[in-house]
Each structure stands twice: as C-alpha cells, then as structure tokens.
Amino acid sequence: AFTSVQFGVLVGIGGGVPSAKADIRLGDVVVCQPSKDCSGVIQYDLGVKMKCELD
C-alpha cells in the first residue's frame, strides 16, 4: 500500500532500570537495525498486570 516508504519510525516513551551494562535513561535515543534473524522491533514487556499493580 505504501510502495514509496523506505523507512519507518516508531516513537514512544520507554522505561527501564539502568545497570552497569545498559546505562539507558529517559531522554536517550535507542536505535535498532534489522538483521537476518530479527526485524529490529523488539517487544519488551516482562511485567504482568495483576490486581491493578505491575509485578
């Protein structure tokens, strides 16, 4: 349907806990490049919603 679109941009707000290996904080720009085995889009929601809380 969109034959002339060459790039797609997904913009959103993510949250996480910085660690020694991944010091990513609010305001940082994270870029992912697709590869042979991965589309470049990663779903990362390991939390489970229970009783109006996130465990």
| Residue 24: CB atoms within 10 Å | 14
Strand (E) or helix (H) holding 27: none
Going by C-alpha positions, the residue among 31, 32, 26, 4 that lies closest to residue 13 is 26
Residue 24 contacts residue 18 (beta carbons within 8 Å): yes
- Write out pLDDT tens, residues 3-55: 887 777 777 776 667 778 777 777 777 777 778 887 776 655 555 555 555 55
Whether the pTM exceeds 0.75: the reply is no
Residue 47 contacts residue 55 (beta carbons within 8 Å): yes
